Structure 1
Amino acid sequence: MADQQDGTAASSEQPPQAPAAADAVAQQFSMLQITELLKKPETELTLEEKFALCRSVGEECIQEGELLRMLEKKPNIVAYDGFEPSGRMHIAQGVLKALNVNKLTKCGVTFKFWVADWFAQLNNKMGGDLKKIQVVGRYLVEIWKAVGMNMERVEFLSASEEINKRPDEYWTLVMDIARKNNLKRIMRCTQIMGRSENDELSAAQIFYPVMQAADIFFLKADICQLGMDQRKVNMLAREYCDDCKPKRLKPVILSHAMMPGLLEGQEKMSKSDPNSAVFMEDTEQEVKTKIKKAYCPPQQVACNPCLSYAQHIVLPWCEKLEVERAEANGGNKAYTTFEELCADYESGALHPADLKPALAKHLNAILQPVRDHFENNAEAKALLKQVKSYKITK
């Protein structure tokens, strides 16, 4: 559940080729068309359009055919994501998550957020102080509400509260998953919480992946909508389904891409490094400063965090990226596709000195409702002050 970059498989299950029907549907919609589908009434969406919306959430989908059949035949689909309340929220967790949730709920999917307070405590976040962790959890929910997440089909569930309501069901699941896996298999999943197999782990941290796999079945989730960094434990859950008698239905894994940090060589955003990411309540000047200092080599598309921000945040949210520049440098231009933006940047027609101010301007527009909420709502303002006073632990 922690924000950690890892897209490698830890499972023997290899995703087969998607059925031709699902593959064809996935390819026939551009990102512009996906944006237009979000404006369409839910009752008018076809099966193919719902599939395209859901599939656009993930960099990877295991399995596309299962997702398509689920949308066709299952009336009440549940997706879930679990998050550790472990500090301030960066823009990927805030805006990108809101975008993904809005796409799924548009298709009639119920989205369950697992506020993983016990997990944060197991992982020693906030020094293991459960009260502080729960305060951070409330702060994160406030941000999602302020930024524009559609809450109509969204549920926020506290792990500690829900598990204590049905302890027999939960701990029986945890024990069964633990019994059916050896320690080596579980250790390969420790990267989901920002750790490695070589770290000196507490017994609590070793138990963490088993509990996260149990969450999926405890919440009766049909879709695991987490980042690529959580792939290993989601595959563990699919494998567990094969070991059950009778067999359980496997959850679809819809994994979104991980965004890089703003500084050179940062494959992932870091909550402990304030310069690594734009945070959801950063001031307008802080956003400008961070983007100005961001790694953005001319004519280099790969490993360019500014272009990643444009692709995953600005274009989906704002529908275009408007660049203002002198006529001598090409004049003003509005980009509506990432392909067009990359082509100009790679050719040198778009310079970092023009891209960065445009990027900062759009990010500030996206974040302004969040700033307004934390400034004008007394309860939210006090909550933010409290969270900022906490020391972020690794």
Structure 2
Amino acid sequence: MDADERLRLIEKDLAEIITSEELRARISEDRELRGYIGFEPSGRMHIGQVINVLKVIDMTRAGVKFLIFLADWHAKINDKFGGDIEKIWICGDYLRHCFLGLGIDPDRTEFLYASDIVNRSEYWEKVLQISKASSLSRIRRAMTIMGREEDDAELDFSKLIYPPMQVADIFELEVDIAYGGLDQRHAHMLARDAAEKLGWKKPVAVHSKLIPSLSGSGRMDTAQKKMSKSDPRSSIVVDDPPETIAEKMSMAFCPQSEVQDNPVLAIAELLIFPSRGTFRLNRPGKYGGDVLFSEYSELENAYASGKIHPKDLKENTARELSEMLEPVRDHFEKNPDPKRRIEELLLGGEK
């Protein structure tokens, strides 16, 4: 695979790249690139996170060695599982198995916990340097990366440590590409600004779109209207059985002919087309019959023009998604313990 092919594969389906020129320059270097994405072990994996998995697979195919960073200390700061690190590790192991079930290449991917690096004095020196290079207001603005409001720091000072730690992760791991959803943009831009002030190598920041909440709720802020595991009604979990996926999809926000912030169309655009290449609409002949869409734009135009009823879109999206996630369910049938342990935690009321 030449440099242009690698660049196309990395860029495919991304919402933004900061910057494309820097990414092209890194690819042209005669060395293996290192990519990174951070996940806070905080519950079951929902389909919004599968977007990230698909892109990590693309990047590893393009020759990038990828670090999947399981941010256990960050989850502790963010009060996940009551701050119990042992429970956070149980969730981290479950997430690792989700990645494997979704087809991550274990030879091109490394799983790393924050606990693996926080005992290094050099790491905390970076946290201090980043903090000194950043204003308090800038750190507060970056708190949305952890699903928090700026005012939350008034109740718990540790929340202000989270953004400098996330930025320090990037530099301690010496990554070329920092990847995440658009909700992680604040952290990645903070890293690039700190790098410029401190004379460090800037990470290329690449971001994917977010799937809106199934309920269609949320204000205009990107992080607030995304799918979230904290509201079971708003999300689909990667190991949900087909009947649960169908039930949740049937209740999804999906107004007739409306495409803006439509979570059902977003699932088709961001998950089904990238992973399966097509979308098959099955319906009775009296309602238009079966249609095979080879491009997302065709499906969107057909829905916008009223040629597809919301019920048909929901039912077919649920079927396509369920088929796409079948390898995850198969993986947990063969490896049941990680799923059993996280379910026991959540049944016990842990969040």
TM-score category (smaller protein)? over 0.9
Output the amino acid matched with 1:278: I
Unmatched segments (≥5 aa) in structure 1: 1-44
**Residue 67 of structure 2 corresponds to which residue in structure 1?**
112
Shift of the 241–376 alpha-carbon distance from structure 1 to 2, 3 Å rule, reads: closer
Structure 2 stretches lacking a partner, 5+ long: 219-224
Counterpart for residue 68 of structure 1 = 24
Cα deviation code 1:75-112 (max 9, x no counterpart): 1111101111001110121x212210111001110110
1:311 to 257, 262, 269: 269
| Shift of residue 123, structure 1, vs aligned partner | 1.0
**Could you tell me which of 225, 248, 260 is aligned with 1:290?**
248
8 Å CA contact 1:271–1:277 kept in 2: the answer is yes
Task: Classify the secondary structure of the residue corresponding to 1:226.
Answer: strand
Matching residue of 1:300: 258
Name the residue aligned to 1:143. 98
1:265 aligns with 2:217: yes
Counterpart of 1:219 (choices 149, 156, 173) is 173
CA spacing shift, 1:378–1:230, aligned 2, 3 Å: closer
- 201, 206, 219: which one aligns with 1:254: 206
- Counterpart pick for 1:130 among 85, 91, 94: 85
Distance 1:380 1:373 in 2: 11
Deviation at 1:390, TM superposition (A): 4.6
CA contact (8 A) 1:89 1:280 kept: yes
Cα offsets for 1:199-221 (capped at 9, x unmatched): 33411111111111111110001
Aligned equivalent of 1:169:
122
Aligned mates of 2:54, 2:345 — CA distance in 1:
24
Shift of 1:150: 2.1
Q: State the AA in 1 paired with 2:240.
A: D
Which residue does 2:2 correspond to in 1?
46
Q: Deviations over 1:228-280 (max 9, x none)?
A: 11111211111111212xx2221100011111010132421121211101101
Kindly report structure 1 stretches of 4+ aligned residues shifted beyond 6 Å. none
TM-score, scaled relative to structure 1:
0.84
Written as runs of structure 1 = structure 2, the 5 A alignment for 1:1-394 is 45-93=1-49, 95-164=50-119, 167-199=120-152, 200-244=154-198, 247-266=199-218, 267-393=225-351
- Which digits, 9 at most, give the CA deviation of each residue in 1:49-85, with x for residues without a partner? 2111111252011000000111111411111011110
Query: Is 216-225 or 268-277 further displaced after alignment?
Result: 268-277
- Residue equivalent to 2:222: none
Q: Please state whether the residue corresponding to 1:279 is helix, strand or coil.
A: coil
Give, as a single letter, the amino acid of the residue that structure 1 aligns with 2:249.
Answer: I
Q: Sequence identity of aligned pairs in percent?
A: 38
How large is the RMSD of aligned CA atoms in angstroms?
Answer: 1.4
Q: Secondary structure at the residue paired with 1:295?
A: coil
